[in-house]
Structure 1
């Protein structure tokens, strides 16, 4: 497993170098190859993990004397999330074959080698962060993902893209200070950077470490008050938006928080209480902010902020002692990645084929493109938590865990009622836009819709299927 894990992390970095060295026309194909190899690596790692009994294992990689700098944590959570973020990297790379082309009505442009190179670096960094067993390893890859997001958000090199990229870099870099504080505290108290050492800390030191991780998580996962970078980051190419802001970068925050809780043993209740309060404030804010949005990608950005708040709510309740909430939170990370990526792919396909993603200009989509109409419908219902789509199988156990926990913490009951109201309101708002945009007589821009390339169509089909199947995969994997 040591060799497979290192292969999964390092092969995308090797591919990133090669994409810059080969002829421009070959760069996109090199990206596909190395993204596929990394994906196979995650599958092989998971296969060997379960073949050897499915017991959590920490593998030392870089060590000086008795100080472990970087190692691999191979367990059910890390293998599941690694399979998702790396596999979605491959899906985004394939989708980009069609999207990054001169046939794109909104952005007619052939993808540069630097686009595919940074996409591979991002895939490798995500694999490294998810599999890291030390805070130093998490911090290293945390910063690499920030640099990649800066490059990819500013890819089109317009003034607004540069400003958006710089904002994302600054906010997420400030967030990384939380990880510096957490790593320093852990080392001073225990003499190691290993995440498992958090469990041996005193309650006060444990609070410092976990609040440091939570601060970093809030910044990376765009939670108040560090949310402002995400909506502006929609200036990136849509495949980048799908990957960085649905499947990977924003999931860094919730993942490191989940990993910290899993490693901490008995968590001080203050961590859970602060997490719940932050999640609920962000959830309400995100919902209010996406109501006036007409740009489909900005609506999805605020929706992402809200959905991440649900994950923080689940993980915060896990910090308060609910094992069901932890499973719900991890499943939510996995399921939301596929559903929200599908929604972004629908938005990207509309801008590619119609030249706009402004919802008031889109009407009758299903008449001219049944695949996009179905994709819009499936993504909306999955995000809203309508059965049998994957969002339901994340929200239901989250709410079940919350109501169980409210027997001991009665103040959680109104919190969960608010979450239920937000979920129903989300469904109503997405249903409103479905009626306005998907059905009816086609508008002028939809009437002149262009056909989608095969690479884009095939990835839409894959994500539609995963918006149903991912919940069953997560359930089988974690149980």
Structure 2
């Protein structure tokens, strides 16, 4: 398993080097090939883990004395999430081969080597972060993802795109200070960077370590007060938006927080209260901010901020001993990645074919572009948690765990009621836009829509299927 995991991390980096050096016409196919190889690596890792009886394993790759510097951890959580981030990287690579062409009505442009190389580096960095068994390893890949996001958000090189890229880099880099502080404190008190040592931290040091991790997580996952970079990051090509803001960049934060909780076992309750309160504030604020949005991608950006707040809320509940909340949070990371990627790539399909992603100018999508219309419907229902779509099986455990814990902590009752109200309100708002955009007589832009390339259509079909099936995969794997 050690060799398979290491190969899964390294293959995208090798592919990025080749992609950068080969002729431009070959870049997109080399990128897709290496993303496929990395995906097969995650499947091989999962198979080896399953064949070994699903026994957790940690391998130290680099150490100095008794201090573990870099390593790999293979368990139910890491194998599930690494598959999601790498497989979605493959789907985004394939989608990009059709989207980044001169046939795109909104951004007629042939993808460059730079785009595909940075996409592969991003896939490799995400795999490395998810599989890392040390805080130092997480920190390394944390910073690599920040550099990749800067390069990809500013890909079109317009002044606005470059400003947005710099904002994302600066805010997430400021957030990384928390992870630096956590790593330094862990090393000073335990003599190692291994995540398994988190359980040895007690007293004020524990507050510093877990507080630092939570702060870093807020920055990457665009939670208040570090949310400002995410809506502006919509200047990136839409496939990048789908990957950064559904499967990779924003999932770094919630994942490192989840991994810290899982590794420590006992986290100070004050971290849980702070996590829940800030998640609730972010949830309500994000919902209010996406109400006035007319640009589909910006609406989805604020929706992402809100959905990530649900995951933080679930993980914070887990600190109080709720295994159901923790598993619900992990399933939410997995399920949301597919549903939100679908929503973003539907937006990309509309902008490719119609030349716009402004919702008031889109109407009658189902009649002219049935696949995009179905994708819009499935994504909206999945995101808002309507059964039988995957979002329902992520949200239900959170509500069940929250109301169960409210018998011990009465303040959770009004908090859970607010969360429930936000969930219903989100459903109403997205269904409102579904009614405005999908049925009816096609608007002028939709009536003149260009054909959608086969690669883009195939990816939409896969994501529609995954929005129905991913929850069953998560349940079966997590147990």
TM-score tier by shorter-chain length is: over 0.9
Q: Give TM-score scaled by structure 2 length.
A: 1.00
Task: State how 1:279-318 maps to structure 2 within 5 Å.
Answer: 279-318=279-318
SS class of match (1:285): helix
Specify the alignment match of 1:14 in structure 2. 14
Q: Would the aligned equivalents of 1:147 and 1:169 in 2 still touch at CA under 8 Å?
A: yes
How far did residue 21 of structure 1 move? 1.1
1:406–1:412 contact (8 Å) kept in structure 2: yes
Alignment of 1:350-361 (within 5 A): 350-361=350-361
Cα shift at 1:250 = 0.0
SS of residue matched to 1:386: coil
Match of 1:212?
Answer: 212
Shift of 1:267: 1.4
Q: Which residue of 2 aligns with 1:233?
A: 233
Unaligned 5+ segments in structure 2 are none
The Cα shift of 1:383 comes to 0.4
Offset of residue 203 of structure 1: 3.0
Q: What is the rounded CA distance, in whole Å, between the counterparts of 2:331 and 2:470 in structure 1?
A: 9
1:136 lines up with 2:125 in the alignment: no
Question: In the alignment, is residue 332 of structure 1 matched against residue 332 of structure 2?
Answer: yes
Judge conservation of contact 2:327–2:478 (CA < 8 Å) in 1.
yes
1:447 aligns to 2:442 (yes or no) = no
Residue 205 of structure 1 deviates from its aligned partner by 1.5
Deviations 1:301-351 (A, max 9, x none): 000000000000000000121110000000000000000000000000000
1:69-108 mapped onto 2 (5 Å cutoff): 69-108=69-108
CA distance in 1, matches of 2:73, 2:48: 14
Tell me the residue number matched to 1:373. Answer: 373
Does the aligned pair in 2 maintain the 1:363–1:442 contact within 8 Å? yes
- Shift in Å at residue 65 of structure 1? 2.2
- C-alpha RMSD of the superposition: 0.5
Match of 1:373, SS?
Answer: helix
Distance 2:435 2:404 in 1: 37
User: Aligned partners of 1:265, 1:429: CA distance in 2, in Å?
Assistant: 38
User: Where does residue 434 of structure 1 map in the other structure?
Assistant: 434
Kindly indicate whether the alpha-carbon contact (under 8 Å) linking 1:206 and 1:264 is maintained by their aligned counterparts in 2. no
Structure 1 match to 2:49: 49
Q: How many residues align?
A: 479
3-state SS in 2 of match to 1:60: strand
For the pair 1:393 / 2:393, whether they are aligned, the reply is: yes
Query: What is the CA–CA distance in structure 2 between the aligned matches of 1:322 and 1:210, rounded to whole Å?
Result: 18
Q: Does residue 1:177 correspond to 2:177, yes or no?
A: yes
Give me the TM-score of the superposition, normalised by structure 1: 1.00
Distance in 1 (alpha carbons) for counterparts of 2:35 and 2:78: 18
Counterpart in the other structure of 1:267 = 267
Q: Which sections of structure 1, spanning at least 5 residues, go unmatched?
A: none
**Whole-Å Cα distance in 2 between the matches of residues 50 and 316 of structure 1?**
29
Matches within 5 A, 1:152-167: 152-167=152-167
Instruction: Give the distance between the partners of 1:43 and 1:414, measured in 2 at CA.
Output: 42
